[in-house]
Amino acid sequence: MTVHIGAEKGQIAETVLMPGDPYRAKWVAETFLDDAELVHEVRGMFGFTGSWKGNRVTIQGSGMGMPSMSIYANELIRDYGAKTLIRIGSCGGMQEHVKVRDVIIAMTTTSTSTPSSTMFRELNFAPCADYSLLSAAVKAAKSVDVGVHVGGIYSSDTFYSERKDLDEQMQRHGILGVEMEAAELYTLANRYGVRALGIMTVSDHLLTGEALPSDQREKSFGDMVEIALNAAFA
């Protein structure tokens, strides 16, 4: 056990999918895994382990924001031996050609700061996805009936941002979408020498104001989960 994860040794798989919402972790485990078992629920941040096509998988909630992601990713890697970590979550679209319900596979992440920023001091570290996961996800995405985009995303440390000028620069430089966790996940994976990838469903759009109704989210998020699972075990 760790401070934030109450699972015993051996209860966490080497492959971990990480939605931010613990209840989404529950939905993913119940929908996609065989013999899913709740292995811990410390602070209500559920972790489930089961199997998918004979492969052992853990679904672990990460919470919202990079500090929370940093806590769970650090403990999963250092204390439980996780080797492949895939963020599955929602994001806001930032380009006109990126539509609500589309899936973004994040090649790189841009941020103004992360929990690791003080470690780098003056260095602008460029966290990127694991190429084997990235290429496998792009291939897996061809089998789902959804728009897919591959490129850079922005990991923000504020949800209610008032920096319209910053959003404009992100859009100007081709950033596909905005979320709140991937930059720190990629940084930790690079640090520890493990694999990481972020796959996000566009649930709302910064340019159009369109948002995915809550009753339609699960179906759209299912495409993202299928891509993640196929990529993890390609």
**CA gap 25, 31 in Å, rounded:** 10
Secondary structure letter of residue 212 according to DSSP: -
Are the C-beta atoms of 187 and 124 separated by less than 8 Å?
no
Q: Is 20 annotated as a binding residue?
A: yes
**Number of Cα atoms under 13 Å in the Cβ half of residue 73:** 35
Q: Is 35 annotated as a binding residue?
A: no
Instruction: Give the bridge partners for 102, in sequence order.
Output: none
Task: Please state the pTM of the whole predicted model.
Answer: 0.96
Q: Is 71 annotated as a binding residue?
A: no
Are the C-beta atoms of 150 and 102 separated by less than 8 Å?
no
Q: Enumerate the domain spans of the chain.
A: 15-232
Determine whether 21 is an active site residue.
Answer: no
CA triple 120-73-222, angle to 5 deg: 125
Are the C-beta atoms of 233 and 53 separated by less than 8 Å?
yes
From first to last of the 234 residues of the chain, give the pLDDT tens digit.
899 999 999 999 999 999 999 999 999 999 999 999 999 999 999 999 999 999 999 999 999 999 999 999 999 999 999 999 999 999 999 999 999 999 999 999 999 999 998 899 889 999 999 999 999 999 999 999 899 999 999 999 999 988 999 999 999 999 999 999 999 999 999 999 999 999 999 999 999 999 988 767 766 799 999 999 999 999
Catalytic residue from among 34, 145, 165, 204: 204
Q: Is 203 annotated as a binding residue?
A: yes
Domain 15-232 classified CATH 3.80.10.10? no
